[in-house]
Amino acid sequence: PILPEQYRVDNIKVIKIEKSTEPLGATVRNEADAVVVGRVVRGGAADKSGLLHEGDEILEVNGIEMRGKSVNTVCDILAAMEGTLTFLIVPASQARAHSSRESMLHVRAHFDYDPEEDMYIPCRELGIGFQKGDVLHIISQEDPNWWQAYREGEEDQTLAGLVPSQSFQHQRESMRLAAEERMSKPQRKSTTLLCGKATKRKKKKGAYADAGYPITNTADEFEAEEILTYEEVSTHYPRANNKRPIVLIGPPNIGRHELRQKLMEDSDRFAAAIPHTSRARKDSEVDSQDYHFITRAQFEADILSRKFVEHGEYEKAYYGTSLDAIRSVVNSGKICVLNLHPQSLKILRTSDLKPYIVFVAPPSLEKLRQKKLRSGETYKEEDLKNIIEKAREMEEKYGHFFDMIIINNDTERAYGQLLTEINSLEREPQWVPAAWVKAT
């Protein structure tokens, strides 16, 4: 084939790469008539050879001219080839300072992703789908918009896949939110995202814990609406004398109490944190056993110094669960079991206690109905719908904090699942926020 004049012979390189039936692991894109290497994917033959680079123009492969062909044609031709492939290439003019292999980054995804639905992914066939909660091993951040990654459990894949980078995901999510904001408030000239969200938040006050008292969370109420992308995680190895507290989260009347009670029956292994109260001690009660009895003034001081994970007021007395109370269960070598309002997760997660968060969710409306009938409970249809709606809201707002979701259709079964998980927490390493590991 006759080459366009601009290619001087000394500018053309011949490279040979061995190809199996698997793809070489490089992508091509069209730039006018040219077929140019878009990226080299980790794990493939092209990557291992080190001979192909982003920006290289492919002129020929085994004597077949590539210039002028669409990437789809190139893809089909190459797919049919096997053995030694001889490439005629014009190397990228800007030889990229080949970044030394960066260290691997492990992240937990805080959003669902489906490459089939993503019009921005450069190469759909390389896209990895994942769900909120999945762990991804990021092995290349060379492209600022598209990371190369393996999904946890699929490290045996030859080729890495593509996932949106943190900055790309953040950028498009903030654009989407801004667009949403514009549409919902067309008459106003400019509304900041923050204001819009903050007002929404204000309405959702007055949460009640199951004890019946309104729960106030010690963490700041009005923090900026976060855009959830990825969270860096590290491996945490279980320690016999430092067990992770189990936190049960969920809508009321879905069996969190039964689950907690069932666990606590094994009192050698599980214990509750002893709450504080400002009410007077009754004769039958023992200080530091039933409650930590403190004065109202002391309680208020402790609230201010952020000692409580959550607290509330009931019949003119304060009640609350303190970080120290949880810590003292942990120090005793037992597993602390807590039923908390999801608002409390933030403060707990920023502590050193490494909570393991279980969301106890209702089954479908129909199954919930059957469940109530089975247990002979009277119920109002309205209440069941409320429970499901509440669960949905919780999951939307706090889902990124959950380590596990149990659908409680049958308490025995849910208990079995929970116990199995707790047992494995004592044996298997776990992914936890990287900050938890760095801090210690």
Partner 1 sequence: LINVTRSKRATRGTYSPSAQEFCNPRVELNHVLKPPPEERLI
By the criterion CB under 8 A, which residues form the site for partner 1?
21-31, 38-39, 41, 71-72, 74-75, 78-79, 111-120, 122-131, 151, 159, 161, 171-172, 175-176, 179-180, 182-183
Nearer to partner 1, 399 or 433 (CB): 399
Nearer to partner 1, 126 or 353 (CB): 126
Helices (H) and strands (E) in the chain, counts: 12, 22
Taking the complex as a whole, the smallest distance from the CB of residue 38 to partner 1 amounts, in Å, to 4
Taking the complex as a whole, the smallest distance from the CB of residue 70 to partner 1 amounts, in Å, to 9
Nearer to partner 1, 85 or 303 (CB): 85
Question: 20 to each of 24, 48, 365, 367, how far by Cα in Å?
Answer: 8, 13, 52, 51
Nearer to partner 1, 120 or 222 (CB): 120
Nearer to partner 1, 26 or 330 (CB): 26
Taking the complex as a whole, the smallest distance from the CB of residue 37 to partner 1 amounts, in Å, to 9
Strand partners, 20: none
Residue type at 40?
V
Residues whose CB is less than 8 angstroms from the CB of residue 294 and which lie 6 or more positions away in sequence, other chains included = 276, 277, 278, 302
Taking the complex as a whole, the smallest distance from the CB of residue 423 to partner 1 amounts, in Å, to 27
Nearer to partner 1, 168 or 379 (CB): 168
Taking the complex as a whole, the smallest distance from the CB of residue 68 to partner 1 amounts, in Å, to 16
Angle at 302 between CA 297 and CA 304, to 5 degrees: 100
The token duo for 142 is 């060379």
Taking the complex as a whole, the smallest distance from the CB of residue 333 to partner 1 amounts, in Å, to 39
Range 360-379 burial, b when 16+ CB lie within 10 A, else e: bbbbeeeebeebbeeeeeee
Range 63-102 burial, b when 16+ CB lie within 10 A, else e: eeebbebebeebeeebeeeeeebebbbbbeeeeeeeeeee
Nearer to partner 1, 120 or 208 (CB): 120
Nearer to partner 1, 179 or 301 (CB): 179
> What is the 3 state secondary structure string of 302-364?
HHHCCCEEEEEEECCEEEEEEHHHHHHHHHCCCEEEEECCHHHHHHHHCCCCCCEEEEEECCC
Nearer to partner 1, 130 or 436 (CB): 130
Residues whose CB is less than 8 angstroms from the CB of residue 56 and which lie 6 or more positions away in sequence, other chains included = 36, 37, 89, 90, 91, 92
Taking the complex as a whole, the smallest distance from the CB of residue 226 to partner 1 amounts, in Å, to 16
CB 21 within 8 A of CB 82: yes
Taking the complex as a whole, the smallest distance from the CB of residue 55 to partner 1 amounts, in Å, to 13
Nearer to partner 1, 80 or 286 (CB): 80
Taking the complex as a whole, the smallest distance from the CB of residue 365 to partner 1 amounts, in Å, to 16
Q: What is the largest CA-CA distance in the chain?
A: 101
3-state SS class at 31: strand
Name the H helices within 208-338. Answer: 256-264, 296-304, 323-331
* Cα dihedral 47, 52, 56, 60 in deg (nearest 10): -120
Taking the complex as a whole, the smallest distance from the CB of residue 305 to partner 1 amounts, in Å, to 40
Nearer to partner 1, 179 or 373 (CB): 179
Taking the complex as a whole, the smallest distance from the CB of residue 394 to partner 1 amounts, in Å, to 16
Question: 381 to each of 23, 371, 432, how far by Cα in Å?
Answer: 56, 13, 39
CB 209 within 8 A of CB 215: yes
Which secondary-structure segment (H or E) carries 437?
A: helix 434-439
